[in-house]
Chain A
């Protein structure tokens, strides 16, 4: 028995570590996503001078609505699981999985910290260190379309199909723009691995400015955010599920199947927030914080313990994620919904040429002898 462990020490350690990382990171993400469903309602309420949900209580303690996600979950489980008579049973059942699984799988490549030393072992704070992480992100986010199409078609409802058609056209168009906006970043960092990209953002520009992606590519950031929100099917591009007109591809869904679609949407908010933080805002980088501690541009130093530095970096990543999640919610509750032709025009006539132009200019600037 010991012989087996000795012989496979590497692979067992790797498997165990990965399992722990998945459990911790995915657990944190799921918890945050559940809170985000509450945050969406609270943020929208606060910006409209309302209070929002604050009644769900356990033994009389409501904590200003903190138990609302749990109440929602229990309600969703207890609802009738309805399926239209003419629905395609197989695809109707599969569609929520198609929506949820790619979104969750994408967290595998998110670097949520640099590394920590555990019992003299260097543990990377990223579940899967893919050298082509960015391509992985693009590939899997493209697969999320199938949940929309299948859900819309399999329920055999005209409104659902309309939502699915809109969704497919929108996501394919925006996927193109999304991929192209990231090309400029890949050119600058010379890598498509997310951890490498974050490491490249650790330096300083002109001696004081943190060398984050947004400093190099401010224009690409705006394009990326627009395309990512559209890809995410959130307002102002939520015409896939426009509540006031067609309800959307999940119209015939109820109970936990519907909850899976809804949860996938919120998971995607977290994803977009994490991607924006990772690619354009330095991921887990804290300005002026290096492996040994702070080193300010004036020359002042503040040496710090390794664990403190790691904790600060993970905290910085979490804070950036929270900020961008809040920003996406704010955008959704601020802007009116686009019309379908307006969105298509925006994607193909404005964002796509601008993204191509961005690549051109980036390439030209990089070739300049500076």
Chain B
């Protein structure tokens, strides 16, 4: 009972933090929400008693990658602007929204496909010992395409970073 509650709690937290992150305008706040999402994902792993996965999730993602993200973001001009600044023009906003929604739809569809597939997989009772191996087989075998698709997110992040950094020249 407690375990199920924990799973729903952390799952809900992850979803909530991710959604808030997507709709957050302030880059640092968005990054912190992403950190919250990563940490609650780690909690989710713990609830599934995959301790190693949870620890690695925190060490690698929260401890190292997000740190660099946030450091990089905090030195961009966007993070030092006053929060009440002019919003981008309507046409740009519309285009960005359409593109973003399209990308989100594609990723969501693929994720749903994956989750439908994962449901059919039966976990061995000693999941916490060998689950990492099963997970790896699934990720790099059957769901390789969807897994690679997720790296698009990282590409988008790189593009966004370049865009954020390029703003500076414009301002000068």
Contacts and interface: CB of A to CB of B under 8 A. Distances in A.
Give the interface SS of chain A, mostly helix, strand, loop or mixed: helix
B111 interface: no
B71 A132 contact: no
Interface residues of A, number: 30
B63 interface: yes
A212 B29 CA distance: 46
Interface string A132-172: 10011011101101100110110010000100110011011
A142 B63 contact: yes
A358 to B, nearest CB: 19
A287 B98 CA distance: 69
Contact of B55 (A91, A132, A164): A132
Q: How large is the interface on B (under 10, 10 to 19, 20 to 34, 35 or more residues)?
A: 20 to 34
Given A130-B51, A149-B70, A143 B63 contact: yes
B20 interface: no
B74 A164 contact: yes
B74 A149 contact: yes
Interface in A101-155: 130-132, 135-136, 138-140, 142-143, 145-146, 149-150, 152-153
A175 B63 CA distance: 9
Interface in A73-117: 86, 88, 90-91
Given A132-B51, A132-B52, A132-B55, A142 B62 contact: yes
Interface in A45-66: none
Contact of A135 (B29, B32, B59, B64): B59
Contacts of B35: 146
A331 B54 CA distance: 35
A145 B74 contact: no
B67 interface: yes
Given A138-B59, A153-B28, A146 B52 contact: no
A142 B80 CA distance: 25
Contact of B59 (A91, A130, A179): A179
Given A149-B70, A165-B75, A143 B62 contact: yes
B63 A139 contact: yes
Contacts of A165: 71, 75
B52 A140 contact: no
A152 B70 CA distance: 12
Given A132-B51, A153-B28, A164-B74, A139 B58 contact: yes
Given A139-B59, A153-B74, 11 more contacts: A132-B52, A135-B59, A143-B58, A145-B63, A146-B35, A150-B32, A164-B71, A165-B75, A171-B67, A172-B68, A175-B64
Interface of A: 86, 88, 90-91, 130-132, 135-136, 138-140, 142-143, 145-146, 149-150, 152-153, 156, 161, 164-165, 168-169, 171-172, 175, 179
3 closest Cβ pairs, A-B complex: A142-B63, A135-B55, A139-B58
